[in-house]
A and B are shown apart, each in its own frame.
Chain A
Protein backbone atom coordinates (compact mmCIF):
# COMPACT_ATOMS: atom_id res chain seq x y z
CA UNK A 1 0.00 0.00 0.00
CA UNK A 2 1.48 3.30 -1.03
CA UNK A 3 -1.17 5.96 -0.52
CA UNK A 4 -4.67 6.56 0.70
CA UNK A 5 -6.59 5.88 3.85
CA UNK A 6 -8.48 2.99 5.33
CA UNK A 7 -11.42 3.76 7.57
CA UNK A 8 -13.28 1.16 9.57
CA UNK A 9 -16.53 1.36 11.46
CA UNK A 10 -16.87 0.29 15.09
CA UNK A 11 -17.45 -3.30 13.98
CA UNK A 12 -14.28 -3.42 11.94
CA UNK A 13 -15.98 -3.17 8.57
CA UNK A 14 -14.06 -1.20 5.97
CA UNK A 15 -16.00 1.89 4.94
CA UNK A 16 -13.21 3.45 2.88
CA UNK A 17 -10.24 1.67 1.38
CA UNK A 18 -7.10 2.80 -0.37
CA UNK A 19 -8.38 1.77 -3.78
CA UNK A 20 -11.83 3.35 -3.46
CA UNK A 21 -13.00 6.16 -5.69
CA UNK A 22 -15.20 8.62 -3.87
CA UNK A 23 -17.96 10.75 -5.31
CA UNK A 24 -17.70 14.47 -4.61
CA UNK A 25 -20.11 17.23 -5.48
CA UNK A 26 -18.47 19.70 -7.79
CA UNK A 27 -21.55 21.82 -8.40
CA UNK A 28 -25.32 21.61 -8.44
CA UNK A 29 -28.01 23.57 -10.23
CA UNK A 30 -31.75 23.97 -9.96
CA UNK A 31 -34.27 25.74 -12.14
CA UNK A 32 -37.23 25.17 -14.40
CA UNK A 33 -37.49 24.05 -17.97
CA UNK A 34 -40.36 24.54 -20.40
CA UNK A 35 -42.18 21.56 -21.87
CA UNK A 36 -40.13 20.08 -24.68
CA UNK A 37 -37.54 22.72 -24.01
CA UNK A 38 -33.81 23.00 -23.64
CA UNK A 39 -31.73 24.77 -21.01
CA UNK A 40 -28.01 25.41 -21.26
CA UNK A 41 -25.93 25.84 -18.14
CA UNK A 42 -22.47 27.34 -18.07
CA UNK A 43 -20.45 25.17 -15.73
CA UNK A 44 -16.89 24.84 -14.45
CA UNK A 45 -14.55 23.30 -17.00
CA UNK A 46 -15.07 19.56 -17.22
CA UNK A 47 -12.24 17.47 -15.94
CA UNK A 48 -11.68 13.74 -16.06
CA UNK A 49 -14.12 11.98 -13.78
CA UNK A 50 -16.83 14.61 -13.96
CA UNK A 51 -20.32 13.28 -14.59
CA UNK A 52 -23.61 15.13 -14.69
CA UNK A 53 -26.63 13.45 -13.13
CA UNK A 54 -30.17 14.59 -12.61
CA UNK A 55 -31.83 14.44 -9.21
CA UNK A 56 -35.08 16.07 -10.18
CA UNK A 57 -38.24 16.36 -8.14
CA UNK A 58 -41.39 15.45 -10.00
CA UNK A 59 -44.85 14.10 -9.36
CA UNK A 60 -46.19 10.66 -10.06
CA UNK A 61 -47.89 10.21 -13.37
CA UNK A 62 -45.98 12.91 -15.20
CA UNK A 63 -44.98 11.53 -18.56
CA UNK A 64 -41.63 12.59 -19.83
CA UNK A 65 -37.94 12.52 -19.17
CA UNK A 66 -35.21 14.96 -18.34
CA UNK A 67 -31.73 14.37 -19.58
CA UNK A 68 -28.60 16.38 -18.97
CA UNK A 69 -25.24 16.06 -20.61
CA UNK A 70 -22.11 17.96 -21.48
CA UNK A 71 -22.16 19.50 -24.95
CA UNK A 72 -18.86 21.30 -24.46
CA UNK A 73 -16.38 21.27 -21.60
CA UNK A 74 -18.16 24.27 -20.06
CA UNK A 75 -21.77 23.68 -21.09
CA UNK A 76 -24.39 21.28 -19.84
CA UNK A 77 -27.56 20.94 -21.82
CA UNK A 78 -30.79 19.86 -20.18
CA UNK A 79 -33.62 18.58 -22.35
CA UNK A 80 -37.20 17.85 -21.38
CA UNK A 81 -39.88 15.70 -22.97
CA UNK A 82 -42.49 16.77 -20.46
CA UNK A 83 -45.52 18.55 -21.87
CA UNK A 84 -45.43 21.31 -19.27
CA UNK A 85 -42.93 23.22 -17.19
CA UNK A 86 -40.82 21.00 -15.00
CA UNK A 87 -38.27 21.79 -12.33
CA UNK A 88 -34.81 20.32 -12.65
CA UNK A 89 -32.02 19.52 -10.23
CA UNK A 90 -28.71 18.44 -11.64
CA UNK A 91 -25.45 17.56 -9.94
CA UNK A 92 -21.94 17.50 -11.29
CA UNK A 93 -20.29 14.57 -9.63
CA UNK A 94 -16.51 14.61 -9.43
CA UNK A 95 -14.85 11.24 -8.98
CA UNK A 96 -11.61 12.60 -7.65
CA UNK A 97 -9.31 12.32 -10.63
Chain B
Protein backbone atom coordinates (compact mmCIF):
# COMPACT_ATOMS: atom_id res chain seq x y z
CA UNK B 1 0.00 0.00 0.00
CA UNK B 2 1.58 3.28 -1.06
CA UNK B 3 -0.96 5.53 0.65
CA UNK B 4 -3.85 5.38 3.09
CA UNK B 5 -3.92 4.07 6.62
CA UNK B 6 -3.32 0.65 8.08
CA UNK B 7 -3.14 -0.05 11.81
CA UNK B 8 -2.22 -3.45 13.19
CA UNK B 9 -2.51 -4.76 16.71
CA UNK B 10 0.21 -6.31 18.86
CA UNK B 11 -0.05 -9.59 16.99
CA UNK B 12 0.14 -8.01 13.57
CA UNK B 13 -3.59 -8.35 12.96
CA UNK B 14 -5.22 -5.55 11.02
CA UNK B 15 -7.45 -3.30 13.13
CA UNK B 16 -8.12 -0.22 11.02
CA UNK B 17 -7.72 0.06 7.26
CA UNK B 18 -8.96 2.15 4.36
CA UNK B 19 -9.14 -1.06 2.32
CA UNK B 20 -11.64 -3.06 4.38
CA UNK B 21 -15.08 -2.34 5.75
CA UNK B 22 -15.78 -3.08 9.40
CA UNK B 23 -18.91 -4.25 11.06
CA UNK B 24 -19.69 -1.67 13.72
CA UNK B 25 -22.11 -1.54 16.61
CA UNK B 26 -25.10 0.69 15.84
CA UNK B 27 -27.74 -0.50 18.33
CA UNK B 28 -28.10 -2.61 21.43
CA UNK B 29 -30.73 -3.42 23.97
CA UNK B 30 -32.88 -6.24 25.21
CA UNK B 31 -36.17 -7.81 24.25
CA UNK B 32 -38.41 -10.12 26.21
CA UNK B 33 -39.04 -13.54 24.73
CA UNK B 34 -42.20 -15.45 25.47
CA UNK B 35 -41.88 -18.93 26.92
CA UNK B 36 -41.88 -22.13 24.94
CA UNK B 37 -44.77 -24.52 25.42
CA UNK B 38 -42.95 -27.69 26.49
CA UNK B 39 -39.72 -28.71 28.12
CA UNK B 40 -38.59 -30.99 25.35
CA UNK B 41 -36.45 -30.10 22.39
CA UNK B 42 -38.36 -32.43 20.10
CA UNK B 43 -41.82 -31.30 19.13
CA UNK B 44 -41.45 -28.17 21.17
CA UNK B 45 -43.51 -25.07 20.48
CA UNK B 46 -41.00 -22.33 21.09
CA UNK B 47 -41.68 -18.84 22.35
CA UNK B 48 -40.39 -15.90 20.43
CA UNK B 49 -39.14 -12.33 20.35
CA UNK B 50 -38.55 -9.74 17.64
CA UNK B 51 -35.77 -7.26 17.02
CA UNK B 52 -36.66 -4.44 14.64
CA UNK B 53 -34.94 -1.43 13.13
CA UNK B 54 -32.47 -3.39 11.03
CA UNK B 55 -31.07 -2.46 7.67
CA UNK B 56 -30.00 -4.70 4.82
CA UNK B 57 -26.79 -6.59 5.51
CA UNK B 58 -26.88 -5.99 9.26
CA UNK B 59 -25.87 -8.87 11.46
CA UNK B 60 -27.51 -9.50 14.82
CA UNK B 61 -25.76 -10.99 17.81
CA UNK B 62 -27.61 -12.18 20.89
CA UNK B 63 -26.95 -13.30 24.42
CA UNK B 64 -29.35 -15.78 25.88
CA UNK B 65 -29.99 -19.48 26.26
CA UNK B 66 -31.38 -21.93 23.74
CA UNK B 67 -32.14 -19.47 20.98
CA UNK B 68 -32.40 -19.80 17.26
CA UNK B 69 -33.42 -17.60 14.39
CA UNK B 70 -37.11 -17.72 13.47
CA UNK B 71 -37.13 -15.47 10.43
CA UNK B 72 -35.12 -12.67 8.93
CA UNK B 73 -36.05 -9.77 6.70
CA UNK B 74 -34.14 -6.65 5.71
CA UNK B 75 -35.64 -4.80 8.70
CA UNK B 76 -36.28 -7.36 11.45
CA UNK B 77 -35.26 -10.67 12.90
CA UNK B 78 -37.51 -13.06 14.79
CA UNK B 79 -36.00 -15.26 17.47
CA UNK B 80 -37.22 -18.56 18.85
CA UNK B 81 -36.92 -19.18 22.58
CA UNK B 82 -36.65 -22.93 23.21
CA UNK B 83 -36.89 -22.57 26.95
CA UNK B 84 -40.15 -23.09 28.81
CA UNK B 85 -39.69 -19.84 30.67
CA UNK B 86 -39.57 -16.28 29.49
CA UNK B 87 -36.18 -14.70 29.18
CA UNK B 88 -34.65 -11.34 28.44
CA UNK B 89 -32.47 -11.50 25.36
CA UNK B 90 -29.68 -8.97 25.04
CA UNK B 91 -28.90 -8.08 21.46
CA UNK B 92 -26.49 -6.04 19.42
CA UNK B 93 -26.87 -4.90 15.84
CA UNK B 94 -23.75 -4.56 13.72
CA UNK B 95 -23.76 -2.65 10.43
CA UNK B 96 -21.29 -2.21 7.62
CA UNK B 97 -19.37 0.98 8.25
CA UNK B 98 -20.03 1.98 4.64
CA UNK B 99 -23.75 2.03 5.52
CA UNK B 100 -23.45 4.56 8.34
CA UNK B 101 -23.11 8.33 8.18
CA UNK B 102 -19.95 10.19 9.00
CA UNK B 103 -19.97 11.85 12.39
CA UNK B 104 -20.71 15.55 12.71
CA UNK B 105 -18.74 15.88 15.95
CA UNK B 106 -15.43 17.72 16.02
CA UNK B 107 -13.37 15.00 17.65
CA UNK B 108 -12.48 11.35 17.02
CA UNK B 109 -11.08 9.50 14.04
CA UNK B 110 -12.71 8.59 10.75
CA UNK B 111 -11.13 6.79 7.83
CA UNK B 112 -12.42 6.96 4.28
CA UNK B 113 -11.34 5.08 1.19
CA UNK B 114 -10.37 6.71 -2.08
CA UNK B 115 -14.03 6.79 -3.15
CA UNK B 116 -15.15 8.56 -0.01
CA UNK B 117 -16.76 5.53 1.60
CA UNK B 118 -16.52 5.47 5.38
CA UNK B 119 -14.29 2.59 6.46
CA UNK B 120 -13.82 3.34 10.13
CA UNK B 121 -15.34 5.70 12.68
CA UNK B 122 -14.35 5.95 16.31
CA UNK B 123 -17.98 6.88 16.99
CA UNK B 124 -19.03 3.29 16.40
CA UNK B 125 -17.30 0.40 18.22
CA UNK B 126 -16.10 -2.23 15.77
CA UNK B 127 -17.15 -5.84 16.15
CA UNK B 128 -14.34 -7.57 18.03
CA UNK B 129 -14.28 -11.23 17.11
CA UNK B 130 -13.63 -13.63 19.96
CA UNK B 131 -13.97 -16.92 18.15
CA UNK B 132 -15.66 -18.90 15.48
CA UNK B 133 -16.94 -22.42 15.90
CA UNK B 134 -17.87 -25.09 13.45
CA UNK B 135 -20.86 -27.16 14.45
CA UNK B 136 -19.90 -30.28 12.59
CA UNK B 137 -16.61 -30.70 14.37
CA UNK B 138 -18.31 -30.49 17.72
CA UNK B 139 -15.26 -28.79 19.11
CA UNK B 140 -17.14 -26.16 21.06
CA UNK B 141 -15.61 -22.93 22.19
CA UNK B 142 -14.29 -22.14 25.63
CA UNK B 143 -13.47 -18.91 27.33
CA UNK B 144 -16.22 -16.86 25.74
CA UNK B 145 -18.36 -16.24 28.78
CA UNK B 146 -20.63 -13.32 28.14
CA UNK B 147 -20.02 -13.36 24.41
CA UNK B 148 -22.65 -12.41 21.91
CA UNK B 149 -23.39 -15.11 19.36
CA UNK B 150 -24.37 -14.08 15.86
CA UNK B 151 -27.63 -15.37 14.54
CA UNK B 152 -26.62 -17.05 11.34
CA UNK B 153 -29.53 -18.19 9.26
CA UNK B 154 -31.48 -21.23 10.24
CA UNK B 155 -28.98 -22.77 12.62
CA UNK B 156 -29.39 -22.93 16.36
CA UNK B 157 -27.24 -20.80 18.61
CA UNK B 158 -26.65 -21.43 22.28
CA UNK B 159 -24.89 -19.17 24.70
CA UNK B 160 -24.55 -19.72 28.41
CA UNK B 161 -23.31 -16.47 29.88
CA UNK B 162 -21.91 -16.76 33.35
CA UNK B 163 -22.62 -20.44 33.87
CA UNK B 164 -20.47 -22.27 36.35
CA UNK B 165 -18.91 -24.41 33.65
CA UNK B 166 -17.15 -21.35 32.33
CA UNK B 167 -19.63 -20.46 29.69
CA UNK B 168 -18.94 -23.22 27.25
CA UNK B 169 -20.80 -22.71 24.04
CA UNK B 170 -22.16 -25.68 22.20
CA UNK B 171 -20.69 -29.13 22.61
CA UNK B 172 -20.47 -32.47 20.90
CA UNK B 173 -22.55 -33.41 17.92
CA UNK B 174 -23.77 -36.92 18.52
CA UNK B 175 -26.15 -39.45 17.06
CA UNK B 176 -25.74 -38.44 13.46
CA UNK B 177 -28.47 -39.90 11.29
CA UNK B 178 -28.47 -39.55 7.55
CA UNK B 179 -31.71 -39.88 5.62
CA UNK B 180 -33.08 -39.22 2.18
CA UNK B 181 -36.05 -37.04 1.40
CA UNK B 182 -37.69 -35.52 -1.64
CA UNK B 183 -35.34 -32.57 -1.34
CA UNK B 184 -32.20 -34.70 -1.11
CA UNK B 185 -30.12 -36.16 1.62
CA UNK B 186 -30.00 -34.54 4.98
CA UNK B 187 -28.43 -35.22 8.31
CA UNK B 188 -30.29 -35.03 11.58
CA UNK B 189 -27.91 -34.54 14.44
CA UNK B 190 -28.20 -34.22 18.13
CA UNK B 191 -26.20 -31.32 19.42
CA UNK B 192 -25.29 -32.11 23.01
CA UNK B 193 -24.64 -29.23 25.34
CA UNK B 194 -22.93 -29.11 28.68
CA UNK B 195 -26.07 -30.13 30.53
CA UNK B 196 -26.36 -33.42 28.65
CA UNK B 197 -29.41 -32.16 26.88
CA UNK B 198 -29.74 -32.53 23.16
CA UNK B 199 -30.92 -30.16 20.51
CA UNK B 200 -31.97 -31.08 17.03
CA UNK B 201 -29.93 -29.54 14.28
CA UNK B 202 -30.45 -30.23 10.64
CA UNK B 203 -27.54 -29.88 8.27
CA UNK B 204 -26.93 -31.08 4.73
CA UNK B 205 -24.58 -34.03 4.54
CA UNK B 206 -20.92 -33.12 4.70
CA UNK B 207 -21.45 -29.51 5.70
CA UNK B 208 -20.79 -27.42 8.72
CA UNK B 209 -22.46 -24.39 10.23
CA UNK B 210 -20.09 -21.66 11.22
CA UNK B 211 -20.87 -19.63 14.30
CA UNK B 212 -19.39 -16.27 15.17
CA UNK B 213 -18.90 -14.95 18.69
CA UNK B 214 -18.39 -11.27 19.39
CA UNK B 215 -16.85 -9.66 22.44
CA UNK B 216 -19.31 -8.20 24.89
A interface residues (Cβ-Cβ under 8 A, vs B): 1-5, 7, 9, 15-16, 18-26, 28, 35-36, 49, 51-62, 64-69, 79-83, 89, 91, 93-97
**In the complex, which of the residues B72, B109, B126, B204 contacts A57, with contact meaning CB atoms closer than 8 Å?**
B72
New contact pairs (7) apart from A22-B13, A22-B15, A22-B129, CB-CB < 8 Å? A22-B127, A23-B129, A25-B22, A67-B207, A83-B183, A96-B15, A97-B11
Q: Which residues of B contact A93 (CB under 8 A)?
A: 129, 212
Q: Decide yes or no: A51 and B10 within 8 Å by CB, A20-B128, A65-B153 being known contacts.
A: no
- Interface pair A97/B152, CB less than 8 Å apart: no
- Interface pair B203/A67, CB less than 8 Å apart: yes
Q: Decide yes or no: A25 and B96 within 8 Å by CB, A57-B72, A58-B71, A94-B20 being known contacts.
A: yes
B interface residues (Cβ-Cβ under 8 A, vs A): 7-17, 20-23, 57, 59, 70-74, 78, 96, 109, 122, 125-129, 132, 150, 152-155, 182-184, 186, 202-204, 207-210, 212, 214-215
Q: Which of B150, B202, B210 has the most CB of A within 10 A?
A: B210
Number of A-B contacts (CB under 8 A): 158
Q: Which residues of A contact B17 (CB under 8 A)?
A: 24
Q: Which residues of B contact A94 (CB under 8 A)?
A: 20
- Interface pair A16/B128, CB less than 8 Å apart: yes
Nearest Cβ distance between residue B75 and chain A, in whole angstroms? 10
Output the nearest chain B residue to A25 by Cβ-Cβ distance: B21
Q: Which residues of A contact B214 (CB under 8 A)?
A: 23
Q: Which of A5, A20, A59 has the most CB of B within 10 A?
A: A20
**In the complex, which of the residues A16, A18, A67 contacts B10, with contact meaning CB atoms closer than 8 Å?**
A18
Q: Decide yes or no: A80 and B204 within 8 Å by CB, A3-B8, A20-B128, A51-B210 being known contacts.
A: yes
